[in-house]
Chain A
C-alpha cells in the first residue's frame, strides 16, 4: 500500500518542476508544456485524495481538468502560432508589448 504522502510528494515534485519550467524557460512551447505538468501534478493530488477520502468528486474534477487542459493547449498553441507569425520567434522575453 503506497501511502498518501508519496502521492503528495510526487505531485509536489511535479508541480515544482512545472513551476520552475514556467518561470525559467524562455521557449514559449516549453512554458506551455510546463503548465501542463503543473496541471497534471494537481490531477495526481486530486486522484490521490479522492481515493484516500473514498469520494469520487476528486476524480471527476481531475477528468474535467484533463479536458480543460486539452482546450488550453489548443488555444495556447494557436496563440503561439499567431505570435510567431509576427515575431518569427518563440522567445517569451520578446513578448512584452503589454507593459506600460
Chain B
C-alpha cells in the first residue's frame, strides 16, 4: 500500500506535465476539444491520485518522503527532486488539484472561442505543475522551483491578452514586484544552508533548536519577505489588483485560490523557525492585520467587479498572515481552504457575470441581474455570505477562529483590526452584490439584450464550489479548534495553544463576529438598496477620504515616485553612461583597431608588397636577362656546350686528383 502511495505521489505532477508537453508542442495540430480535454483531464487524474494519497495518509497518519530523481550532489550539498507528503501537503494538494480541476472545467466554457485557447490551457497546466512542486517539495530548492514557476505562469497568464498594453504592463509589474520577494526568499534559503548544511525540511526542522534567536529572526524575516511578495501583503500587494487583467479563471485559480496562498503555506511549513522568533511572529501578525484592514478600505469604493474581489483577496490573505502571526497555523490553513472555495466561487461567478454582459466589468453599469442570471446570482450570494462570515457558511468558521484565537491570546490590537476588517469586508461584498444584482439595470441597450446565463460547463463547477462554500467550513472545522482539520493537521502545524477562555467567551466572540457581518450587510442594504442616494451623498461629504480610497491611497503613485521613477532616471543615467562612456570606450577600441588595420594595410602595401615585388622583379629581371642566352644562334649553343665540356673535364680532373 505504501509503495502504491509513493507511486501515486510521483504521478501527481506528471499528468499536468504531460498535458503541457502535448498541448505546448502539438497543440496547434489538434482541435481545441482535444486540448481542453487533455488539460482538465490531466488535472482530474492528479486529483484522483491526490485522493488516493489522502486516504492512505488519513488512515496511517504517516508522512511520505519520496525521491523522484537524484538531482544535485556534491560536497555538503545534496538536493533531490523529492516530495514530502504530510497532512499539510495533503490539504494543499486537495485544494490545488480539486479547485484547480473545477476551474479548468469552468475555463472550457469561459475561454470558448478565445484566441490562444490552447496556449491558455498549456499555461494553466504548467501552473498546476509548478504549484504541485511548490507544495510537494521536500526541500527549499524544489519549493523555490515551484515558487518561481508559479510566478512565471502568473506573468504569462496576466499577460494573456498581450496585445493589450495594460495587460502587458500588469504582467511585468507582477513579475517585478514578485522578484523583490523572491530575493528575500533566496536569502532565506542561503541562510538555512549556511546554518544547517542541508536544505531538506525534515533535517532542518530536526536541528532547528541550534539556531541562535537572532539567526532565527533573520531567516524568518527573509522568508517573510518572500511570502509578502507572493501573497500580496503590505507593502508589496500592488501587483495583485493589477493582475486582474488576466482572464477571470486565472484570477480565480492563481490570484485567489492557490498561488497567492503559497506565502501562507510557506510560513506554516516553516513554523518551526518562526516559532523561535517572537519578533518575526509579531511582524507577521502586524503585516497581516494591517493588510487585512488596509485592503478592505480600498475595496469599499472600487468600481471594477474583479478589483473589488482582488482587494478582498489581499485582505483575506491578511487574515491568514494574522493567523500565522499569532501562532494559529491550523486556523490559517483552514482559512486558506475555505477562502479558496469561496473566493474561487466569487471570481468564477464574477466571470460568469462578465461573460453574460459581453465583457463589462464596471459595477456602475450593471444592476438588476438577479432575475436574468439566477444561478450565477444565487452562487455569488453564497460566496458573499461565506466571505462576509455568516454562520454556517465556510468563511465564518475559519475567520472566527483566527479572530477568536487573537482575542483569547490577548492580541487585542490585531483582534480590533480584524474585526473592523470583517465589518468592511461584509459591507463591500454586499455592496458589490447589491450593485451587481439588485436595483434597476444600468446597462446599455445592446448589452442588455445579450444577457444570458452561462452554459452548464461553467455553472457546474460553480455549484460544486458553492456547495463547498456552504458546508466546507462545517465539515472541516466544526467544532471550532477541535474539528476534523485540526486533528488532521495537528501533528504538522501544531495544536492551537490551550487558553483559559471558557465556552462562554468563545460563543460571545462568535456572536460578535456574526453581529459584525450583519451590521456590514445592513449598512450595505441601507446604502445601496433602501436609500441609494445616501451613498453618493456620503461620497460627496467625505470627498477627500473617498478620493483617497478611490485612488487606492495613491500607493501606486507613491511607489512610482519613490522607486519606479528614480530607478528609471538611474536607468537613463546608466543609459547615458553606457552610450557615452562605455560605448565611447568600445568605439575607441574599435577606432584603435581601425587605425591599426590602416597601419597594417600601409605596411602590407609598402613593405610586404615591396618585398614581394623585389622577388618578382628579380625573377623578371633574371628571366629577361636569362632568356638572352637562348639566342637561337647555333654557334652560341656550340660554344656553351664546349665550355660545359671543359668545365666537366676540369671537375673530373679535380675529383680524380683528390
A interface residues (Cβ-Cβ under 8 A, vs B)? 19, 22-24, 31, 92-93, 95-100
A-B contact pairs, 25 of them (CB 8 A): A19-B642, A22-B638, A23-B635, A23-B638, A23-B639, A23-B642, A24-B635, A31-B635, A92-B633, A92-B635, A93-B633, A93-B635, A95-B632, A95-B633, A95-B634, A96-B631, A96-B633, A98-B632, A99-B630, A99-B631, A99-B632, A99-B633, A100-B627, A100-B630, A100-B632
Q: Which residues of B contact A93 (CB under 8 A)?
A: 633, 635
Chain A residues contacting B638 (CB-CB under 8 Å) are: 22-23
Q: Complex: how many Å from CA A98 to CA B637?
A: 12
Residues of B within 8 A of A92 (CB): 633-635
- With a cutoff of 8 Å between Cβ atoms, the chain B residues found around residue A97 in the complex are 632
Beyond the given A95-B632, A95-B633, A96-B632, could you list 20 further A-B residue pairs with CB under 8 A, ordered by the A residue number?
A: A22-B638, A23-B638, A23-B642, A24-B635, A31-B634, A31-B635, A92-B633, A92-B634, A92-B635, A93-B633, A93-B635, A95-B634, A96-B633, A97-B632, A99-B630, A99-B632, A99-B633, A100-B627, A100-B630, A100-B632
CA distance A21 to B64 in the complex (A): 122
Closest A residue by C-beta to B633: A96
Within 615-637 of B, Cβ neighbours of A (below 8 Å) are at: 627, 630-635
Q: Give A98 to B632 CA distance when docked, in angstroms.
A: 5
Taking CB atoms, residues of chain B closer than 8 Å to A31 are 634-635
Nearest A residue to B626 by beta-carbon distance?
Answer: A100
Q: Looking across the interface, which residue of chain B has its beta carbon closest to that of A93?
A: B633
CB neighbours (8 Å) of B627 from chain A are 100
Minimal Cβ-Cβ distance residue in B for A96: B632
Closest to B642 in A: A19
Sorted from nearest, which 4 A-B pairs have the closest CB atoms? A99-B632, A96-B632, A100-B627, A98-B632
Could you list which residues of chain B lie within 8 angstroms of chain A, going by C-beta atoms? 627, 630-635, 638-639, 642
Cα–Cα, bound, A47→B642 (Å): 24
CA distance A12 to B2 in the complex (A): 123
Instruction: Report the minimal beta-carbon distance from B624 to chain A, rounded to whole angstroms.
Output: 10
Q: Within 8 Å CB of B632, what residues of A?
A: 95-100
Give Cα distance in the complex from A100 to B625, angstroms.
12
Measured between alpha carbons, how far is A78 from B630 in the docked complex, in Å?
25
Q: Which residues of B contact A24 (CB under 8 A)?
A: 635
CA distance A6 to B236 in the complex (A): 131
Q: How far is the CA of A23 from the CA of B639 in the complex (A)?
A: 6
Identity of the chain B residue whose Cβ is nearest the Cβ of A98 in the assembled complex = B632
Which A residues lie within 8 Å of B642 (CB)?
Answer: 19, 23
> Which partner residue on chain A sits nearest B639 by CB separation?
A23
Q: Which residue of A lies closest to B637 (CB)?
A: A98
Q: Give CA–CA (A22, B635) in the complex, Å.
A: 7
Cα-based distance from A99 to B630 in the complex (angstroms): 6
B631's nearest neighbour on chain A, judged by CB, is: A99
* Alpha-carbon distance A57/B342, docked complex (angstroms): 135
**A31→B635 CA distance, assembly (Å):** 9
Give the chain B neighbours of A23 by CB distance below 8 A. Answer: 635, 638-639, 642
What chain B residues lie within 8 Å of A95 (beta carbons)? 632-634
Q: How far is the CA of A96 from the CA of B633 in the complex (A)?
A: 5
Residues of chain B lying within 8 A (CB to CB) of residue A96: 631-633
Q: How far is the CA of A38 from the CA of B654 in the complex (A)?
A: 26
Alpha-carbon separation in the docked complex, A19 to B633 (Å):
16
Residues of B within 8 A of A100 (CB): 627, 630, 632
Interchain nearest-CB distance for A88 vs B (Å)? 19
Find chain A residues with CB under 8 A from B633 CB.
Answer: 92-93, 95-96, 99
Report the minimum CB–CB distance from A35 to chain B (whole Å): 10
* CA gap between A99 and B642 in the complex, in Å: 20
Compute how far the CA of A60 lies from the CA of B266 in the bound complex, rounded to whole angstroms.
Answer: 124
Chain B positions within 8 Å of A19 at CB level: 642
- Chain A residues with CB under 8 Å of B631's CB are 96, 99
A53 CA to B630 CA, complexed, in Å: 43
Q: Please name all residues of chain A whose beta carbon is closer than 8 Å to the beta carbon of B635 when the two chains form the complex.
A: 22-24, 31, 92-93
Closest to B632 in A: A99
Least CB distance, B630 to chain A, in whole angstroms: 5
Cα separation A43 to B353 with both chains bound (whole Å): 135
In the assembled complex, the Cα of A70 lies from the Cα of B638 at a distance in Å of: 21
A19 to B, closest residue via Cβ: B642
CA distance A24 to B639 in the complex (A): 9
A98: chain B residues at CB < 8 Å are 632
Complex-state Cα separation, A19 to B639, whole angstroms? 9
Please, how many angstroms separate the alpha-carbon atoms of A63 and B266 in the complex? 125
* Complex CA distance for A9 and B627, rounded to whole angstroms: 38
The answer for the CA separation of A77 and B160 in the assembled complex, in Å, is 109
Task: Note all chain B residues with C-beta closer than 8 A to A99.
Answer: 630-633
CA distance A31 to B627 in the complex (A): 25
Question: For residue B630, which residues in chain A have a CB less than 8 angstroms away from its CB?
Answer: 99-100
Nearest CB on B from A77, distance (A): 16
Task: Give, as a whole number of angstroms, the nearest-CB distance from B492 to chain A.
Answer: 106
How close is A64's CB to chain B, nearest CB, in angstroms? 22
Instruction: Tell me the complex Cα distance, A8–B627, Å.
Output: 39
A97 to B633, CA, bound (A): 8
Bound form: Cα–Cα A42–B634 in Å:
22
Distance of A9 from chain B, by nearest CB (Å)? 17
CA distance A99 to B631 in the complex (A): 5
Interface centre among B634, B638, B642, by most A CB within 10 Å? Answer: B634
Beta-carbon nearest neighbor of A28 in chain B: B634
A99 vs B626: C-alpha distance when bound (angstroms): 12
Complex Cα–Cα for A84 and B209 (A): 128
Give bound CA distance, A23 to B642, whole Å.
9
How far is the CB of A20 from the nearest CB of chain B, in Å? 10
A3 to B631, CA, bound (A): 44
Q: Closest Cβ of chain A: how far from B648's Cβ, in Å?
A: 15
